[in-house]
């Protein structure tokens, strides 16, 4: 498979040039859009979590936030992948992003005092507000279903194949840097002006992301008409992933480790009841994994994880599980922040390896559909994992839920290492 070289890109650009991908104008604008989008999503996620827990006092309600987004995102993922491989990927991503802008505006309106906020004689009752928040998050799940495969596949179109590794590093680093700033910004804005100010900032960031993506001057290359039936096209990504044992095992590692080991959904509980910090402290806790990921990403530019790839992937998952257990047992705010940062650093290694495997091992014509399968795995691990964390926290308490999840993550790594020796022995991923 060969990637088309966009205008302004030189396919002979040395792979060792750390800024090579960022010299491609369209990719630069794409990264700016991704950064602003992620910043808005992180602000929104921080505020929604704190707001819902403050309104309900129930950890299960936090899990339902994830479930409300995961159900439409996973249900529509295969359709979205088909669309991304049949339509102009930039336009599909723009349409989905505009829907996310509308969702941000709806959350802002719901938080305005006297309309949906906590103040004013005509303010909505808490149960009604929570249900409306769930409804908006569900619509954002529809948008995310179409955004993820289209923007991931678009990224591969914007740079020549020789720059895949470099572009993935920049794409991941920009996402992680926004994930550092976003939660802290969301917590600070919430503490400063309440949910309405934070959601207004979220809306503005999303709108700016639309502007950057509109500035990308690119159209997906023409594709010959599909000769396969619609059902065959919809399931093409699934068939490809399940036909590649290495890719399937890498995605499965991410799915089950985050499904069982995700502590992020319960951070409002830890911030309010265990570590006794306010919304600003919650923002720091949510930002900590991304801080670790950014530091890890910088180190990976000097010591990339592509030698002994399979071993490094498994060790990263083990590190993630150990840090999750430590976070669950910690009663010190600085130690908890440090452990979350180390968990983020481990996850960064996993993300970089998995992203390269997905992009390098997938034919261009299937990128959208394979990315949609990846989205199913990610949605299952993140949002359904959030629901699982909420349920187990209600049953056993937040601490036990996080510790048991970390132990389960170690078990998953052990089972994959045992049952898929080809992954354990994988040395290099060609790009």
Angstrom distance (rounded) from CA 417 to CA 383: 25
Residue that wins the pLDDT comparison between 209 and 119: 209
Where does the pLDDT of residue 215 fall: very low under 50, low under 70, confident under 90, or very high at 90 and above? Answer: very high
- What pLDDT, on a 0 to 100 scale, did the predictor assign at position 124? 60
Residue that wins the pLDDT comparison between 143 and 4: 143
Angstrom distance (rounded) from CA 381 to CA 412: 13
pLDDT digit string (tens) for 293-313? Answer: 888 877 776 676 667 788 888
Mean pLDDT in the chain?
Answer: 82
pLDDT digit string (tens) for 256-276? Answer: 777 776 667 788 888 888 888
**In the chain, domain spans:** 21-219+229-424
Residue 314: half-sphere exposure toward Cβ, Cα within 13 Å: 22
Question: Is 5's pLDDT higher than 60?
Answer: no
Domain 21-219+229-424 carries which CATH code? 1.20.1250.20
- What pLDDT, on a 0 to 100 scale, did the predictor assign at position 195? 87
Highest mean pLDDT among 50-54, 90-94, 409-413: 90-94
Please count the residues of the chain: 431
> Under a CB-based contact definition with an 8 Å cutoff, are residues 145 and 69 in contact?
no
76-80, 227-231, 243-247, 339-343: least confident range: 227-231
């Amino acid at each position: 498979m060969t990637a088309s070289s966009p205008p302004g890109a030189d396919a002979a650009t040395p792979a060792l040039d750390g800024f090579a991908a960022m010299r491609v104008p369209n990719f630069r604008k794409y990264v700016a859009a991704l950064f602003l989008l992620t910043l808005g999503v992180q602000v929104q996620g921080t505020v929604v979590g704190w707001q819902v827990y403050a309104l309900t006092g129930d950890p299960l309600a936090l899990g339902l936030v994830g479930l409300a987004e995961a159900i439409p995102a996973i249900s529509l993922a295969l359709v979205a992948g088909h669309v991304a491989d049949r339509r102009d990927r930039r336009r599909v991503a723009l349409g989905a992003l505009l829907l996310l802008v509308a969702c941000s505006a709806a959350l802002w309106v719901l938080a305005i005092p006297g309309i949906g906020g906590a103040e004013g004689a005509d303010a909505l009752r808490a149960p009604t507000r929570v249900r409306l928040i769930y409804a908006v998050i569900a619509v954002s799940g529809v948008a995310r279903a179409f955004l993820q495969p289209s923007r991931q596949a678009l990224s591969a179109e914007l740079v020549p194949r020789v720059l895949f590794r470099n572009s993935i590093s920049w794409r991941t680093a920009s996402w992680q840097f926004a994930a550092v700033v976003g939660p802290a910004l969301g917590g600070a804005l919430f503490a400063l002006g309440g949910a309405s100010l934070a959601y207004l900032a979220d809306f503005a960031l999303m709108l700016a992301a639309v502007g950057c993506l509109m500035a990308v001057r690119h159209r997906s290359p023409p594709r010959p008409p599909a000769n396969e039936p619609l059902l065959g096209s919809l399931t093409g990504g699934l068939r490809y992933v399940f036909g590649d044992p290495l890719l399937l095992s890498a995605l499965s590692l991410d799915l089950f480790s985050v499904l069982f080991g995700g502590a992020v959904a319960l951070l409002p509980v830890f911030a309010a009841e265990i570590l006794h910090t306010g919304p600003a402290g919650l923002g720091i806790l949510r930002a900590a994994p991304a801080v670790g990921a950014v530091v890890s990403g910088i180190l990976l530019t000097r010591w990339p994880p592509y030698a002994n790839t399979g071993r490094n992937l498994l060790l990263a998952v083990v590190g993630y599980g150990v840090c999750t257990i430590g976070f669950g047992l910690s009663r010190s705010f600085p130690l908890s922040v440090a452990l979350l940062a180390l968990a983020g650093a481990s996850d960064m290694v996993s993300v970089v390896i998995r992203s390269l495997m997905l992009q390098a091992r997938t034919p261009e014509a299937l990128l959208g559909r394979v990315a949609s399968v990846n989205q199913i795995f990610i949605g299952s691990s993140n949002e359904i994992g959030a629901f699982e964390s909420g349920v187990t926290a209600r049953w056993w308490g937040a601490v036990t839920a996080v510790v048991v999840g970390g132990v389960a993550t170690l078990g998953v790594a052990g089972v994959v290492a045992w049952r898929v020796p080809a992954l354990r022995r994988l040395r290099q991923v060609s790009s």
